[in-house]
Amino acid sequence: MSKKQLRQLPSVSEVLLDVNKSIALHDRYIREVIKSELRGYRRTAKAGKLDIKRSAITAAILDELDSLNQSSIKNIINGTGVVLHTGFGRAPISKKVISTIAKKLEGYINLEFDLSTGKRGDRQNHIAKMLNAICGSESSLIVNNNAAAVLLALNSLAEGRDVIVSRGQEVEIGGSFRIPDVIRKSYCTLVEIGTTNRTHLKDYEKAITKKTGAILWAHTSNYVVQGFTKEVPLSDLALLAKKKRIPLVVDLGSGALLNMNKQNLPAEKQVSDVVKTGADVITFSGDKLLGGPQSGFIIGSQRYLKVIQKNPLYRTYRCDKWTIALMEETLRTYRSNESFSADNLSLKLLTTSQKILLNRGKKILSNLPQIKVKQLGIALVASLVEAGSGSLPVKSIPSAALQFTPRQITVAALAKAFREGTIPVVGYTKGSTFYIDLKAVLPNQSPQLIEAIKEV
C-alpha cells in the first residue's frame, strides 16, 4: 500500500515546473522548501496514510511557496490595550516620522562625515546636542538597547572590580535581563547590600572598599515593594559616590522625558530630574516611554562618557543609520518637559482619554451590521490597561474596549479568526469573553477594525 502511495509523490523537478514566476525567492530556498514538503508527504506515504492525489500535493506545495513569498512581518491592529507591547515592537512609530526619514535615507547619508570640514565625523553628533539639552546632561551616547547600555557602562567603568547593588534592586526585567547576571557578564563582581525591602546609606558606606568600581542604582520598573521599606535618595547616593570618587550608575529603565503627571499618566522618574541629583551615568530605553526605535541611552558626565565610548565593546553596540535617523525625528517631537507633538505616536496613544476612546467605540459599533453585533455579542465597556514593557507599572490607565461573547463559535476560535484575518487583529481573552481594547488601536485603524469584525 505504501509503495503505491509513494508513486503519488511528484519529483522536485515536476513541482519546479509549476512554480509561479512571480515568486521572488532564491532558487535554492525554493528547492529546499519543496524538498522539505515532499519529505513530510513521504513519511505519511510510508505509513500508508497518504490520501491525497499527486496534483493536490503539487498544489499544496505551490500554496506554501505563495505564502512564503509574502513577508512574515505584517502590519497588525493591537487590540491588547498595551501600547508598549514588546511582542509588537514596543513603541509604535508614526507614518509621518517614517516617511520623513525614508526620504533622508535613500542612497547615501552623512552618517559619519562632516560636510563642513570634509572630514570624518561621529554618528553620535546627530543626536547628542538635542538629547543633552532635553535631559540637562553633559554628554550622551545611543546604543542598541538599554541592556547594552548598562553592560557597556559597567564594563567600561568597573571591569575587574566590585559593583555595589541593593538587594531590593536585583531585578529581572523580562527576557532574562537580570541585574546580577549583567554585572557578572560585565566582568565585575556583585556586592549585595541591605535587604529586599530596606537599604540604608550606611549599607553603601560599609561596602565601599579600594576594590569598588561603581555603585549601581536600578529602577525596579516592573514591580513595587510597599509597606515597611527604605530606599536611599539618589541625591544622597550621588554625594557619597563623589566623596568616595567612584561613579554612580543609574539604570532608569523606561526613560521618561516628560512629566507624566502633567499628561494624566502615573508618575515616573523624569530623566532630567535624575540628572539633577548628581548621578554620574544614567541609562534608559529609547523605545519605551520615549517613543522611539529600539535603542538605549547612556547620558551623564563627559568624563565617564569618554571612557565608555573608547571601550572596544562600544563598536559592537553602536546603532545603525536607521535607528539614529528615527531617534533624531523622535526627539524633535518633544517641545518642552510638559508637551510633545502628535507625531510621537506612543505618547499620543498613552494620553488619549477614556472619553475619546468610548466615543470611538460607539462609532465603530454604529458602523457594524446589527446581525453581526448580535452574533458576536459585541458590547462597549470601560477598561483598564498597562503601558507595557515595565513602564508605569504601579497604576492602570483608563481605556475602553469592545467585548465579545460569541454565540456560534468559541472564544478561542474567534481570537484565532481575528489573528488570521486579512487585517490581523490581536486582542485578549478573559474567561469566556474576548476583548479588543481601543487604547493601542491607531485612530486611522478604526475603518480597518470595522472591516475585520465584518469579515469574522
Quick: pLDDT tens for 383-412: 999 887 666 665 789 999 999 999 889 999
What's the whole-number mean pLDDT along residues 379-385?
96
For the segment 216-238, what is each residue's pLDDT rounded down to a tens digit?
Answer: 999 876 556 666 668 889 999 99
- H/E stretch holding 345: helix 345-351
pLDDT for res 5: 81
pLDDT for res 223: 57
- H/E stretch holding 240: helix 234-244
Res. 372: pLDDT tops 60: yes
What's the whole-number mean pLDDT along residues 430-451?
96
Length of the chain: 456
In this structure, the number of other CB atoms found within 10 A of the CB of residue 68 comes to 14
- 128: pLDDT confidence band, cut at 50, 70 and 90? very high
For the segment 34-87, what is each residue's pLDDT rounded down to a tens digit?
Answer: 999 999 999 988 888 888 888 999 999 999 999 999 888 999 999 999 999 999
pLDDT for res 8: 82
What's the whole-number mean pLDDT along residues 161-182?
85
Cβ atoms of 226 and 191 closer than 8 Å: no
User: Among all chains, which residue has been given the C-alpha cell 454604529?
Assistant: 366
What's the whole-number mean pLDDT along residues 318-346?
95
- CA–CA distance, 364 with 135 (Å, rounded to integer): 41
User: With the CA atoms of 203, 205, 206 and 210 taken in that order, what torsion angle do they form, in degrees rounded to the nearest 10?
Assistant: 140
CA-wise closest residue to 321 among 155, 1, 102, 61: 102
pLDDT for res 283: 97
User: Among all chains, which residue has been given the C-alpha cell 553620535?
Assistant: 124
pLDDT for res 433: 96
CA distances from 140 to 253, 279, 312, 343 (A): 16, 14, 17, 24
pLDDT for res 224: 64
- H/E stretch holding 330: helix 321-331
Res. 177: pLDDT tops 70: yes
Long-range contacts of 125-128 (CB under 8 A, 24+ apart): 126/324, 126/325, 126/328, 127/324, 127/327, 127/328, 127/331
Cβ atoms of 193 and 204 closer than 8 Å: yes
Can you list the domains of the chain with their CATH numbers?
Answer: 2-68 (no CATH), 77-86+349-455 (3.90.1150.180), 95-331 (3.40.640.10)
Full-model pTM: 0.90
Strand partners, 297: 142, 284
Give me the half-sphere count of Cα atoms (radius 13 Å) on the Cβ side of residue 111: 15
Dihedral sign from CA coordinates of 379, 380, 381, 385: positive
